[in-house]
Amino acid sequence: MNSPATAADTRLDLLELVDWFARTARRLPWRSPGVTGWGVLVSETMLQQTPVNRVQPIWEEWMRRWPRPSDLAAEPQGEVLRAWGKLGYPRRALRLHDAAAEIAAEHDDVVPGDVDTLLALPGIGTYTARAVAAFAYGKRAPVVDTNVRRVVARAVHGAGDAGPPSPKRDLADVDALLPSDDATAAKLSAALMELGQVLCTVRSPRCEECPLAADCAWQHAGRPAYAGPPKKVQKFAGTDRQVRGKLLDVLRGADGPVSRERLDRAWSEAGQRDRCLDSLLVDGLVEQTADGRFALPGEH
DNA sequence: GAAGCGTGGAA
DNA sequence: TTTCCAAGCTT
């Protein structure tokens, strides 16, 4: 199934995009010179589904406390969950802790730069593996996140937004845009993401400022609205996700183990509360103590 | 392939 | 107020 336009025959001036990025890139701390592969991995993990401004202070603290994977690996899980704070999706913190231990034990305390090796680590998927390879090690590795998918959907395919993810096709689309040399490809990967974040946004794209506007397929098509299948918005209020968050927040705010009665106050409906507590235990985000109380893992 | 998994800010 | 969403991963 071919699209009318493919990435391979686009006329987009991608070197102009790289130049735009060099001129205007935000000065994010994990982009500073000297940041290690570990620093980049921590940033990419925190940034999965969490906005930059919330990640920034936590990332700074983590780098201060745990400058190497082995430093994090030496901490109990509960301490890592506390330091994760309210970034959300705390399973990310546990997986990063596990990944740190594996990197320390099997990779000489250095984050690997090879995509397949990265993919074998817990919590590192298609996006993160390539982001680390490109941003930390300057490699040519197609980096596909929600922003890049939108930029490609518009600039290459002329659509209002990306449809549902199609990993193989998405990867091939971006791969076709990257030049052969590692350094330029890595810069272009960062530039494509930045473009989607700051100009080619979902709601009010600033096409006047866009370095790709001249040959953008979406522009040429008259900027048609998104025509794909409706996107699903996930509910939050009243879901298990909310309840789990409340339970975990009680434990993060406590000095040590807490009683079941204390957790009971976090949510009124007993059935859902118990189910959520069970799932937290299964996920390893909560542990039960010998005397029947509850605590963050490793903190009793 | 779809569903589940946190959180808080902006429109 | 409600809705939408922000650099995904795992099952």
Check which CATH number belongs to the domain holding A289 and give it.
1.10.10
The tally of domains found in chain A comes to: 3
A288 phi and psi, to 5 degrees?
-100, 135
Q: So what's the pLDDT on residue A5?
A: 54
Q: Is residue A234 part of a domain?
A: no
Tell me, yes or no, whether A65 and A118 share the same domain: yes
Question: Which contacts of A271-276 are long-range, i.e. CB under 8 A and separated by 24 or more positions?
Answer: A272/A240, A272/A243, A273/A243, A273/A247, A275/A240, A276/A240, A276/A243, A276/A244, A276/A247
Which chain A residues in 181-200 sit with Cβ < 7 A of strand C?
Answer: 193, 196-197
Residues 6+ away with beta carbon under 8 Å from A72: A62, A66, A80, A96, A97, A100
Residues 6+ away with beta carbon under 8 Å from A272: A240, A243
Shortest CA to C1' contact from A31: nucleotide: C7
Domain boundary residue, one of A135, A161, A183: A135
DSSP H stretches of helix in A178-239: 182-198, 217-220
Shortest CA to C1' contact from A165: nucleotide: B1
Q: Which residue is nearest to nucleotide B2 (CA to C1')?
A: A232
Q: Is residue A231 part of a domain?
A: no
Tell me, yes or no, whether A280 and A256 share the same domain: yes
> Is A16 annotated as catalytic?
no
* Nucleic strand C near CB of residue A210 (< 7 Å): no
- Cβ neighbour number for residue A8 with a 10 Å cutoff: 11
Tell me, yes or no, whether A150 and A185 share the same domain: yes
Domain boundary residue, one of A90, A111, A135: A135
Domain boundary residue, one of A95, A117, A135: A135
Tell me, yes or no, whether A40 and A107 share the same domain: yes
- Structural domain of residue A15, as residue ranges? 7-25+141-220
Tell me, yes or no, whether A59 and A190 share the same domain: no
Tell me, yes or no, whether A83 and A163 share the same domain: no
As to burial, measured by CB atoms within 10 angstroms (0-12 exposed, 13-18 middle, 19+ buried), residue A164 is: exposed
Q: Is residue A112 part of a domain?
A: yes
Please give the Cα distance from A128 to A124 (Å, whole number).
6
How far, in Å, is the CA of A126 from the C1' of nucleotide C9? Answer: 9
Q: Is residue A274 part of a domain?
A: yes
**Residue in the block written with tokens 């235990």:** A281
pLDDT by residue for chain A (300 residues), tens only, comes to 334 456 656 788 999 999 999 999 999 999 999 999 999 999 999 999 999 999 999 999 999 999 999 999 999 999 999 999 999 999 999 999 999 999 999 999 999 999 999 999 999 999 999 999 999 999 999 999 999 999 999 999 999 999 999 999 999 999 999 999 999 999 999 999 999 999 999 999 999 999 999 999 999 999 999 998 888 888 999 999 999 999 999 999 999 999 999 999 999 999 999 999 999 999 999 999 999 999 999 987
Q: So what's the pLDDT on residue A56?
A: 97
**Residue in the block written with tokens 């990944």:** A99
Cα diameter, chain A: 68
How far, in Å, is the CA of A124 from the C1' of nucleotide C9? Answer: 7
Q: How far apart, in Å, are the Cα atoms of A289 and each of A170, A253, A299?
A: 46, 17, 9
Report whether A247 contacts A287 (CB < 8 A). Answer: no
Tell me, yes or no, whether A153 and A211 share the same domain: yes
Q: Is residue A225 part of a domain?
A: no
**Residue in the block written with tokens 């680390």:** A132
For A34: left if phi > 0, alpha if psi spans -120 to 50, otherwise beta; the answer is left
Q: Is residue A2 part of a domain?
A: no
As to burial, measured by CB atoms within 10 angstroms (0-12 exposed, 13-18 middle, 19+ buried), residue A298 is: middle
DSSP E strand boundaries for chain A: 287-288, 294-295
Q: Is residue A31 part of a domain?
A: no
Chain C positions with any atom < 7 A from a protein CB:
3-10
Pull the structure tokens for residue A134: 């490109």
Active-site hit among A16, A44, A60, A102: A44
Looking at residue A105, which CATH number applies to its domain?
1.10.340.30
Q: Is residue A247 part of a domain?
A: yes
Please give the Cα distance from A180 to A183 (Å, whole number).
9
Report the footprint of strand B: residues with C-beta closer than 7 angstroms. A 49-51, 54, 86-91, 164, 166, 203, 232, 234, 236, 239-242, 244-246, 248-249, 279, 285
**Residue in the block written with tokens 């100009």:** A199
Shortest CA to C1' contact from A46: nucleotide: C7
Pull the structure tokens for residue A122: 């817990």
Tell me, yes or no, whether A148 and A211 share the same domain: yes
3-state percent breakdown (helix, strand, coil) of chain A, nearest 5: 55, 0, 45
Tell me, yes or no, whether A98 and A46 share the same domain: yes
Tell me, yes or no, whether A204 and A254 share the same domain: no
Tell me, yes or no, whether A120 and A146 share the same domain: no
Please give the Cα distance from A249 to A253 (Å, whole number).
6
Tell me, yes or no, whether A80 and A103 share the same domain: yes
Shortest CA to C1' contact from A88: nucleotide: B6
